[in-house]
Amino acid sequence: MPRTLAIGDIHGHLEALLALEDLVPFRDEDSLVFLGDYVDRGPHSKGVLDWLIERKSRGNVVTLLGNHDLMMRDAPHDDIVLDSWVVFGGDKTLLSYRQSEDKAIQFSDVPDEHWTFLRSCELWHETDSHIFVHACIDPARPMAEQLQTTMLWEKLIDPQPHYSGRIVIVGHTAQKFGWPFDAGHTICIDTWIYGDGWLTCLDVDSREIWQANKAGETRRGHLDSGPEPD
């Protein structure tokens, strides 16, 4: 039976993404919803974008825009954004495109299909039962009236139910204890892969959880009961 799988912030950790792909595993009939922040902080942002572009070419994949992806997209055109992006992990992203040790890093090293991918990322995704967005939403507004700053930058503090009654799935606000935050009406699956945490995949219907860390170690569990014992 096809599943709807939400995947949290990857932040350049291709090794965790590949381990998660093997653990779940992802099937062509599944709907995959990636919540953004594909780049920065981890060592393999280029590889993550390569993987996403290939996987998206097979269909049934939604890629949402994260604030780090937005900074990368805008950095070549805005020096202020560029300075901020480098500070917040863009330096590691640029290094992942470096072609040789003796060659200066340039934006021209980034393939055109990567810029096209970043421009194609959506701000939100809706189903009959769920809303998916990178960071946060205003619970009183329809999605078409949400502010971009809220959807990309706002931290998850005391979330309230969306007026539509749908469950909201977000990333962005790192859960540093390594397990998703579940308020019932709102679930955050950024589990701090760029720190000492995990990359999380959630089956939004069964509430099954799969996780991988930057060492390629994996575990599984259920949102209601926590990770399975080793």
| Structure confidence by residue, pLDDT tens digits, 34-79 | 999 999 999 999 999 999 999 999 999 999 999 999 999 999 999 9
The span from the CA of 182 to the CA of 124, in Å, is: 19
Q: What is the mean pLDDT of residues 90-103?
A: 86
Q: What's the confidence (pLDDT) of residue 102?
A: 66
CB 33 within 8 A of CB 202: no
pLDDT at 126: 97
User: What is the spatial order of strands in the sheet that 31-34 belongs to?
Assistant: 61-63, 31-34, 4-7, 199-203, 208-212, 218-222, 226-227
What percentage of the chain has pLDDT greater than the value 90? 94
Count of all residues that appear for the chain in the document: 230
* DSSP string for 183-210: -SSEEE----TTTTS-EEEEETTT-EEE
Share of the chain above pLDDT 70, in %: 99
Interatomic CA distance for residues 87 and 99, integer angstroms: 22
Instruction: Please state the rounded mean pLDDT for residues 132-159.
Output: 98
Give me the chain's average pLDDT, please. 96
Give tens-digit pLDDT for 106-141. 899 999 999 999 999 999 999 999 999 999 999 999
Helix 14-23 vs helix 45-56: crossing angle, to nearest 10: 40
